[in-house]
Amino acid sequence: MKKALVIVGAAMLLAGCTVGPNYKRPAPAAALPPDWHWQTAQPRDDLPKGAWWKMFGDDELDRLEDAAASQNQDLKAAVARVDESRARARLQGAAFFPNITAAPAYTRTQLPKDNPPFAKIPIPGILQRYEPYNSFSVPLDLSWELDLWGRVRRSFESAQAEAQASVADYQNVLLTAQSDVAVEYFTLREYDAELAILQETVTARTESLRINKVRVQAGRATNLDVDQAATDLTNAQASFDDVAQRRAETQDALAVLVGVNPSDQILTPRPLASETPPPVVPVGVPASILERRPDIAEAERTMAAENAAIGVAYAAFFPRVTLIGSGGVMSARATDLFTWPNTVWSYGPQVSLPIFQGGQNISNLQAARANYQEAVARYRSTVLGAVRDVEDSLADLRFLQAENSALRKSVQTSREAVDLEKKRFLVGETNYTDVIVADETRLATERNRSQVRGQQFYATVRLIKALGGGWNASELQAEQPAPYPFNDVAKLPTAPGAADAEDPSSLKPAAR
């Protein structure tokens, strides 16, 4: 027993050595300047941090977002992936503990009489005889791998990072679903505004057709004018039907996002207000997206998992030491089973040393390094893509604001032009065709402005999504699905001179 304690103690001392590179997040491919041309974030305590859509002040949107959070099927699938990754992390964490099994057994045996080696049966309580006999046993088997080179620790570190990546993936799916609901909702409201304008167009074209028929009867117009007015009315009705169809499709898409049957989702028409601006979103400095974008956090955690996998592959080059032990009782009679003379036990270390693997370990190590480099490239690409998303959204908002201001003036002047043409028509200075042309220009300008207003809301939602919504990567720090009984891998200090992930080829053991 003393020898066993000595072996365990020596193994625990050696277990402080962990091979493979310690993780260090690499810098993005392009350095993010601390003060770019982005808007500096101002304290906005009135803006929601998590439920960002509430800044739009729309009760219907709030209801749809709440429904999507509880009923969206993509979100439920992401939750299942989180549960799976947590379970896998707990599975890796279980390797830190001994594996103990019990296998009670009972057998009845008949040995051949003409076989001398079986003449004496080495079972307590059995004499030299050839009749059938019983054997009762209650063994306990123990095995425990000593993590001398950190293989188990690196495996758990990788699984823990993957679990955190799955949480970030869920947040990314959640943010995508929330932003899709907001975009579809504002698209629906923009279509309602267009339908209102097109309905006005249909009414105006109907009136134009009536007036031209009257003018034909009075001899002041021809049938060509009536045909032209009828064509304009048909075109206006076709445009109305086209937008109505797109509104129905958008409503169905919104129903799927909130997890309900499209036939059960009916939203009352509610045109987007023409003068209500979208909320101003504080942007902050470029580096803030590294903490707020869940897809960046997912890529970073995946990179950490692949870095830990290098240590797992490197540990395969070293011996694996497993403590094995067995103990229990065995007897030919059940009444004598649990007595001291009938106890059996054994213990000792088992060493597995890789001598020749045909290049398997080297290939695994090379693959692990390549996977890490791929994860680094994906992380840097995700960061660049995030910066581009913010830049595009800011540019969209800036130019859409200028376009909306210009269209506001254009709508005003077109309305004045219609009024002027009507006055000229009443005094006989022009014909009604000029009034129709002026009114067509006004309605087209108003419809164009309505579309730009919708695009402003879409761009605002896209900017919020590009910034990561109300999420922050610090939430992953609380994600500890399977802490093992020594220390948290993420919080262990890095030994001086230990290798880091920037140079995975430098694979020196890092003391823990």
pLDDT tier for residue 488 given thresholds of 50, 70 and 90? very low
Per-residue b or e along 266-298, where b marks 16 or more CB atoms closer than 10 Å to that residue's CB? ebeeeebeeeeebeebebbebbbbbebbbbbbb
Q: How confident is the model at residue 65 (pLDDT cuts 50, 70, 90)?
A: very high
Over 60: is that where the pLDDT of 394 sits? yes
pLDDT in tens, 149-161: 888 888 888 888 8
pLDDT of residue 490: 38
Residue 500 pLDDT more than 50? no
Query: What is the band of 59 on the pLDDT scale with cuts at 50, 70, 90?
Result: very high
Number of Cβ atoms within 10 Å of the Cβ of 12: 13
**Per-chain mean pLDDT for the chain:** 81
Say yes or no to pLDDT of 492 above 50.
no
pLDDT band at 95 (very low <50, low <70, confident <90, very high): confident
- The CA distance from 17 to 413, in Å, is 79
Question: Model confidence over 359-374: pLDDT tens digits?
Answer: 898 999 999 999 999 9
Distance between CA 133 and CA 345 in Å, rounded?
23
β-pairing, 133-146 with 99-102? antiparallel
How many Å is the Cα radius of gyration of the chain?
38
Q: How far apart are CA 266 and CA 269, in angstroms?
A: 9
Instruction: Look at 251-265, 302-316, 461-475 and tell me which has the smallest mean pLDDT.
Output: 461-475
**Tokens 């376009």, located at residue:** 403
Long-range Cβ contacts of 56-59 (<8 Å, 24+ apart): 56/182, 56/278, 56/279, 56/457, 57/279, 58/185
Residue 493 identity: P
* 3-state SS record for 66-82: HHHHHHCHHHHHHHHHH
The whole-number pLDDT of residue 454 equals 94
For residues 380-397, average pLDDT: 90
Task: List pLDDT tens digits, range 97-106.
Answer: 888 888 898 8
The pair of structure tokens assigned to 351 is 């060493």
* DSSP bridge partners of 352: 320
pLDDT per residue as tens digits for the range 184-231 = 999 999 999 999 999 999 998 898 889 888 888 888 778 888 888 899
Instruction: Read off the pLDDT of residues 330-355 as tens digits, 9 standing for 90 and up.
Output: 887 887 778 888 888 888 888 888 88
Q: What are the structure tokens assigned to 238, written together?
A: 């076709």
Give me the phi and psi of 24, to 5 degrees please: -145, 125
Domain 22-98+158-318+362-485 in CATH 1.20.1600.10: yes
The answer to whether 296 touches 324, Cβ cutoff 8 Å, is no
Q: What is the pLDDT of residue 497?
A: 33
Query: Quick check: helix, strand or coil at residue 351?
Result: strand
Taking alpha carbons only, the member of 129, 158, 181 closest to residue 20 is: 158
Q: Is the pLDDT of residue 440 over 50?
A: yes
pTM of the model: 0.78
pLDDT bucket at 273, cuts 50 / 70 / 90: confident
For 483, the 3-state DSSP assignment is: coil
Long-range contacts for 260-269 (Cβ within 8 Å, ≥24 apart)?
Answer: 260/67, 260/71, 267/60, 267/188, 269/192, 269/195, 269/196
